[in-house]
Amino acid sequence: MSGLSFSSQKDNSESSGREGGWQKRSSAQTPFEETIISIPEAAGIAWASYRPEKLEGYSLLTQRSPEIIETDFQPEINDRTDKILSLLKELKEDLSNPVEAESIFSNILQYHRELWDLRSHKEKSFAELLVTLESAIKYYDVSELTLQKVEMLIQIFSELKQASLKSDFPKMARKDLRKVGFDLMRPILGVPEKFSDILKKLESND
Amino acid sequence: MTKGALFLETSIQIARRFHHPKERTRIEANFKDSPVLLTSSYVKMEYLRRVIGDLIYLYQVATRVGNFGEILWCIQKLDLYQRRKLQTNLQGIGTFFYSSLGNDTSEVLEKLKIWLKQTIDDSQDMFDELVDSISDETCCEKARNFPQKNGETYSGFGRCKGQQKQCKIDEFFSANLSAFKEIVDALKALPPEEKDEELNKMEEILEKALQHPKNMLDYKNCWKCGDAIISVECPAKALLLTLNVKHYKVLMPAIEKKILLMQDASEIKEEAKIEKS
């Protein structure tokens, strides 16, 4: 046995009321304990950043507290969102051109994917809204698009720029998307028809 | 020509949300000239029981497994009918959220959980948005209160028993006794080769319930007579639209009500062309 234990009874009795995790340095420490306790410092983690009360609801090192979110990742999120918004505005002009519209959609989905990768730095409703938007736009048939639908997408995508998205916003967004005619049940159909058609064509060519 | 009000049966309501867009277009082409779309709380209960119950099962499995493949493994243990139904849904959703940019199935699982939860949470709204009015003569409790959240998950659909009466199906049955009697007579008069197992069971339950309407408070009786209950709920002046013509073509004429036979969307377009010319 290595003897390395981070939460022995002795450590707990000497701690300053901290529960679990790393123990605060005390004056009665042995050199051995000193070595253990210095590990977080060596790793560059400041005491203040892992106070249990601050970590409540977040898992250590995978998600950050709200104040860090705003300063670190919101500009990146805003940047991707702005790119999507400008593409959607372009789409309004190109609704009658399915080739152009298809290309705009591919780019929107690429930025959507980048926003999805940033989800762990935001609140739960951010990821929820992205899934809603994905079920509305992924494989969407551009020939079914209307100006009203694009306007609705612009309105909903802009909300991603909020520092903190309201928890009930995704539900409201789903309602609005259904109202203008988006089909949020597409995922249940699996591979959309246009891709099945392509597959059939490829099979017949074989 | 105006068709008047349409009463939408369960199969139609399910198809309008969960079937292929082509099928939905075919169905909705029948709404032309129908100013009002109606349905009932009993239809809503059937819709929730048949579709949302399955999605809750998938959600519950998805929340306790570690990856997408494990859900498929759990489904393998179900009976053939359930397995086929759930697997089709699951593979559909999985394929949809799969991205060629990342092969990580835990990401698909994450999206699957969010999408299922959203669809379950929206199920009441998604049903209501499809019609103009919903009658509530049976006061079906499941139609009002399902799905119910239980922390981060949901309670199952459950059963209904007479001991904890929460609806008025017995009162509805008593108030429409003569209509149900007409249905029993029509079922009895049907040649055996035209009756399937469901119609046989329905006849047996309804006949007993004519003497003891409180029998209908048991889900084992109530759910097996769904088509007869919906036929009686359909207003006399409305036409009933269904994908289950086999049952309703027997039940509806028995109480002097009509069904609207589904028209193909292409037939309707042709009709419109003729009308124009």
CB < 8 Å to B17, chain A: 185
Q: B107 lies in a domain?
A: yes
CB < 8 Å to B92, chain A: 187-191
pLDDT band at B272 (very low <50, low <70, confident <90, very high): low
Query: What total number of domains does chain B contain?
Result: 1
Chain A residue set in contact with B, beta carbons under 8 Å: 113, 127-128, 131-132, 134-135, 138-139, 170-171, 174-175, 178-179, 183-191, 193
Number of residues in chain A: 206
Range of the domain at B53: 49-130
Q: B34 lies in a domain?
A: no
Q: B204 lies in a domain?
A: no
Name the residue ranges covered by the structural domains of chain A. 9-62, 69-205
CB < 8 Å to B111, chain A: 131, 134
* Partner residue facing B115 (CB), from A178, A187, A193: A187
For chain A, list residues with pLDDT below 50: 1-63, 69-70, 206
Q: B64 lies in a domain?
A: yes
pLDDT of residue B267: 57
pTM, two decimals, is: 0.78
Chain-chain contact of A185 with B114 (C-beta, under 8 angstroms): no
CB < 8 Å to A134, chain B: 97, 111
pLDDT band at B108 (very low <50, low <70, confident <90, very high): confident
pLDDT of residue B187: 97
**What's the mean pLDDT in B109-119?**
93
pLDDT in tens, B207-262: 999 999 999 999 999 999 999 999 999 999 999 999 999 999 999 999 999 999 88
pLDDT in tens, A68-77: 544 578 899 9
Contacts of residue A146, Cβ cutoff 8 Å, sequence gap at least 6:
A95, A180, A181
- ipTM confidence: 0.84
Q: How far is A69 from chain B (nearest CA, A)?
A: 21
Chain-chain contact of A127 with B118 (C-beta, under 8 angstroms): no
